[in-house]
Amino acid sequence: MINLKLSPEESLVLLCCCTDSSESRIEKIRTIVSLELNWDYILKITCVHGISGLVFKNTKHFHNKNVIPNNFTEKLEKEYHKTAYKNSLLTQAYNNILKEFNSEKIKTMPLKGITLLSQLYHNIGLRSISDIDILVEKKDLHCAEQILMGMGYAKKKESASKIKRHFHSIYWKKIGPVTIPVELHWDIDFLDSPFSIRIEDFWHRAELLHNNNQTYYKLSLEDCLIFNSFHILRDGLKTLYLKNFCDLSEIIKKSGTEINWGELACRSKEYKVERPVFLVLLLLKKLLQIYIPLHFFHNIKIVEKEEEKIFFVIVSENIFLKKRDNIYFPKGLLDLTSEKHLTGKYRVVLGMFKNFCLEFKQQYYSDFNHSVLKGAQRSSVRHFRTLKRYIKIFIFSRFNTQKANNLRYRKVKKQAGIEEINKWIREDS
C-alpha cells in the first residue's frame, strides 16, 4: 500500500479536481477547510496547475461561512474570471481557424485543452488553456500555414536545431491584451524520440464530427487516453500539471464502460509508450481515486518498493510545490560535487558554460517579439540570480558545513531519483 503523505492543503486541492462533487466529497472538503490551513500555499498550487476554476467551484459551498479567508476567495474568483475571459478568446479564435481550414478542405483535429474544454467542462472558466493545439496532415501543412498568416498570425522564430526535430510550428497574434498562440501540429512527437507513435494510425481511427456547419476529427477514445497520458511524461519529469490529470479523470468518468482497456494496453505496448501511459494512469488512480481495472496494470513490472519510491519523488518534486529549502543548490553545482573523477568535473564545468550560452538562446526564442537586447537582459538576470545562489551557498557552507553537506546529499539523492525515473520511462518495457 502506497503512503503518499499528503498535507491537508494538498488533499484539499486533489478533492477539488473534479467537475461534479458528490455529497461525500463535499463532506471531506468541509472537514479539511475547518482546519488551520496555509491558504497562500493552496492558492499557489491552484494557480500553477491551472485549476483555479475547479477549486473555486468546489469550495463555493463554504464561501461566506467564515471558514475560508475572504482574500483567498477573492483572489480565486479573480483567477476564475481571468481564465474564463482568456478561454473565450481562444475558443473564438479556434472556431475562426476551423472555419477557414474547412473552407480549404483541410482535415483538422483539435488536441488537448481546446477540444477537451467543450467536451468535458460545462463551464468555460473551470480549466485554463494556454494555447490552441491543432493537428493537420503533413500534406496540408503549407496551406494551413498560409491561412494562418492570412488571418494575421505571425510565425514564431525557432532555432534551426529545434525546427529540424520538432513536430509543430507556433503562430501567434494579439487580440486585445491577450496573446493567442496556435501550435500547428503535423505529428505529436519528436523525430528522434525513443517512442514509436504512428500518427497515421491515429488519423485512421479518428471520428469525423459535424458541429455548427463545421467538421473536424476527434481521436478515438483509446488513442485520446494514450495521447493525453503520454503527453504528460513525453519530456520526462518536470512540473506535472493537475489540469492534465483532471482531463484524463473526466474522460474516464464520462466514458465508463466504453473504454477498451485491453486495446489501450496493446496500443501502448505497440507504440512503446507503455511505461509513461501506465505510470500516468497509476498516478491518476492513486491521486484522484479514479477507477481503472487492476488487470490493466498487470503487464507493467514495478516492484512495490520501487513503486513507492517513484510516487514519492513525483508527488513531492513534480506535482506539489513543496516548501523549498532556504539554500537552493543549482543543478550544475550538484553535478560537480557528485562527480568523483577530475575528467568528470571538467565535463560538468564545460556543460555549465554551454548552459550559459543556451540560456541566452532560450530567452531569445521564448518571446514572440524576438529581441537580442531583451534576450540578453533576461539571461543576465537569471545568471545574476544563479551567482547570488552560489555566493549564498558559499557563505552558508563556511558557517554550517555539516548542515550544508547534509542538504547537498539530499538534493543529489533527489536528483538521482528523478534521473533514474526518466531513464526508466524512456526504456523499453
Do residues 206 and 58 share a domain? no
Query: 227 in a domain, yes or no?
Result: yes
Residue 132 lies in a domain: yes
- In-domain check, residue 264: yes
3-state secondary structure of 419: helix
pLDDT band at residue 67 using 50, 70 and 90 as cut-offs = confident
Q: Let me know whether 190 and 276 are in one domain.
A: yes
Q: Of the candidates 295, 319, 343, which is a domain's last residue? A: 319
Grouping H, G, I as helix, E, B as strand and the rest as coil, residue 297 is: helix
Please indicate, yes or no, whether residues 120 and 244 belong to a single structural domain of this protein.
yes
Q: How far apart are CA 58 and CA 76, in angstroms?
A: 12
Residue 54 covered by a domain: yes
Contact 314, 421 (CB under 8 A): yes
Q: Is 407 a domain residue?
A: yes
**pLDDT at position 316, please?**
77
324 in a domain, yes or no? no
- Rounded to whole angstroms, how far apart are CA atoms 383 and 352? 11
Instruction: Look up residue 422 and give its amino acid.
Output: N
Picking from 78, 95, 111, the residue at the C-terminal end of a domain is: 78
Instruction: Based on the fold, state whether residues 115 and 225 are members of the same structural domain.
Output: yes
Most confident of 2-16, 56-70, 123-137, 157-171: 123-137
Residues 125 and 173 placed together within one structural domain of the fold: yes
| Span 354-375, average pLDDT | 58
**Residue of higher predicted confidence among 63 and 15:** 15
What is the chain's Cα-based Rg? Answer: 23
Question: What CATH number corresponds to the domain at position 227?
Answer: 3.30.460.40
Question: pLDDT over 70 for what percent of the chain?
Answer: 75
Least confident of 105-119, 266-280, 354-368: 354-368
Boundary-marking domain end, from 27, 53, 78:
78
Backbone region of residue 92 per phi and psi (left: phi > 0; alpha: psi in -120 to 50; beta: other values): alpha
Residues 73 and 95 in one domain: no
Cell of 51: 485549476
Asked if residue 2 is part of any domain, the answer here is no
Please count the other Cβ atoms lying within 10 Å of the Cβ belonging to residue 102: 15
Domain total of the chain: 3
Shared-domain flag, residues 111 and 167: yes
Name the more confident of 316 and 14.
Answer: 14
- Number of continuous H segments (helices) and E segments (strands) in the chain: 18, 7
Worst-scoring range by mean pLDDT, 22-36, 105-119, 330-344?
A: 330-344
Do 23 and 139 lie in one domain? The reply is no
Identify whether residues 72 and 98 lie together within a single domain: no
Residues 95 and 72 in one domain: no
Is this prediction's pTM over 0.85?
no
Write out the residue range of the structural domain in which residue 179 sits: 85-319
> What pLDDT is recorded for position 163?
66
For position 57, what pLDDT does the model report? 92
pLDDT per residue as tens digits for the range 115-166? 898 889 988 999 999 999 999 999 999 999 999 999 999 998 776 666 667 8
Residues 227 and 260 in one domain: yes
